[in-house]
A = this chain, B = another copy of it.
Amino acid sequence: MSFRRKPTLNDIARESGHSIATVSRALSQPALVQPDTLQRIRDVALRLGYVPNRKARALASGHSDTIGVVVPTLNSPIFSSTLQEMQRACAANGYQLLIASHEYDPASEAAALGQLLSHGVDGLAVVGAERPQASWAMIEAANIPIVQMWEGREGHDRVIVDSFQAGYLVARYLLDIGHTRIGVICGRLQSNDRQQARVNGIRAALQEEGLPLARTQISEQPLTIAAGRSGCTTLLEMVPRPSAIIGTADLLAIGGMIEAQARGISVPSGMSFAGIDNVDVAAHLSPSLTTVDIPAASIGTETAALLLRRLTERAPEAEAAIRLPITLVVRHSTARPDRP
């Protein structure tokens, strides 16, 4: 094995007796060169084991074949499946995913955005619309296609689900089957417009029945099963005790349900539990979890498709707002309350 440095276009040009320009064209726009030269150049390239240098290509051409994604966390079944689908779609079209996460910290998100933009991503996908003015300014300045996922404001493309409606649906269902004392375990509301919207949806449903949603009915927690358990513990001290608990994320609802069962409360006869997300495990729990299905994977698919479209279109189309449907999935963790 020789320790020659990597072959470049120049090497191929020299070896093949063609100019570097022709070589470049042969490799990236084969239609522009004659079949036999094309063949000769390709042979040499193969023999030398040429691999294009995308840094140089990016610098010269202005695009990097790279799409940036900023998510709150990688460690979530929801964002994972979105990312998985984005990755699939992007890879299939020759794009790489540059992924950053920020743990729900606006400052970290700003830093991540800065990094991605300075890396010259061709497109950007972000979660939600709530971010400091400075972050939005950076995005504007970059002047590249951007898609907001989950939540999104006017002004940019977006692939969204109605989180408010998700909250509303699940609360409305519990009310409909007779619950009036409802507790809520939700994620940290600050800098998280999805969680805010879900809680607001719940509040709206309660208000329709003239019921308030007091602070004492809500427990704000990190988004883990363990946190769901402790949230449940807190809510169990409400007087009167809630007859149903909504977790604004399945993990919270699952944790809550487990905690209740551990304390000898039977679900759903003693207490109902419902979540939002419809994670994989929800269908398999005992009892299976009533929840609202959020098409996380589709968000990834649609976002990638939209971004790829923007990256190839000639005349900019109108702003897109793709709204994906959510559906209440009634399972066995909810039932009519004992008696009021």
Contacts and interface: CB of A to CB of B under 8 A. Distances in A.
A96 B91 contact: no
A151 to B, nearest CB: 22
A73 B114 CA distance: 27
A47 interface: no
A103 to B, nearest CB: 8
Interface string A22-44: 00000000000000000000000
A59 interface: yes
A80 interface: yes
A100 interface: yes
A281 B284 contact: no
A63 to B, nearest CB: 10
Q: Work out how many copies of this chain go into the complex.
A: 2
Interface stretch (A117-125, A188-196, A321-329): A117-125
Interface of A: 6, 49, 51-56, 58-59, 64, 66, 73-77, 80-81, 83-84, 87-88, 91, 94, 96-101, 103, 108, 111-112, 114-120, 141, 224-226, 229, 254-255, 258, 261, 280-281, 284-286
Q: Choose among A56, A87, A258 the residue with the greatest number of B CB atoms under 10 Å from its CB.
A: A87
Given A87-B100, A120-B55, A224-B280, A49 B115 contact: no
Contacts of A55: 55, 58-59, 64, 119-120
A37 B311 CA distance: 41
B286 A120 contact: no
A59 B80 CA distance: 32
A120 B6 CA distance: 12
Given A53-B59, A53-B118, A55-B59, 18 more contacts: A51-B118, A59-B59, A74-B74, A75-B81, A75-B83, A75-B84, A87-B99, A91-B101, A91-B111, A91-B115, A96-B98, A96-B100, A96-B119, A97-B99, A98-B98, A98-B99, A225-B284, A286-B286
A76 B84 CA distance: 10
Contacts of A51: 114, 117-118
Contacts of A118: 51-54
